[in-house]
Amino acid sequence: MSDKITIYQKPTCSKCRSTLAILNESGQDYESVNYYETPLTADKLRELIQKLDLSPRDILRRDELAARHLDLDSISNDALINAMIENPDLMQRPIVVRGDKAKICRPPENVRELL
């Protein structure tokens, strides 16, 4: 497993801040990507979803207002990924990656599995 750790996060998210605190306490180097300032591409999001071993629907924040307007019975995975790129609030967060593995850190303690 690669030693590089990357956290994809939103600074105002409490779960993101808690996950960052665990990473800081670990003493391991990591890269933090605020995907609101540095938006993900569709290809990058597909890569993250593959590393998570989930589907786009699995990382959808269904309680978001924008999600309620999606026809989840008929929307394609590509259209769902594009919706997440256009509105990052639709994605579960934070996502932490190390090598070929990734975790949604909800709860933040999930990050320990990658340390």
Residue type, 93: R
Active-site entry in 6, 13, 47, 82: 13
CA–CA distance, 115 with 31 (Å, rounded to integer)? 14
DSSP string, 35-94: TTTSPPPHHHHHHHHHHHT--GGGGB-TTSHHHHTS-TTT--HHHHHHHHHH-GGGB-S-
Return the structure tokens found at 2: 């690669």
Distances (CA, A) of 53 to 28, 46, 58, 95, 102: 24, 10, 10, 12, 8
Q: Is 13 a catalytic residue?
A: yes
- Which residues carry out catalysis? 13
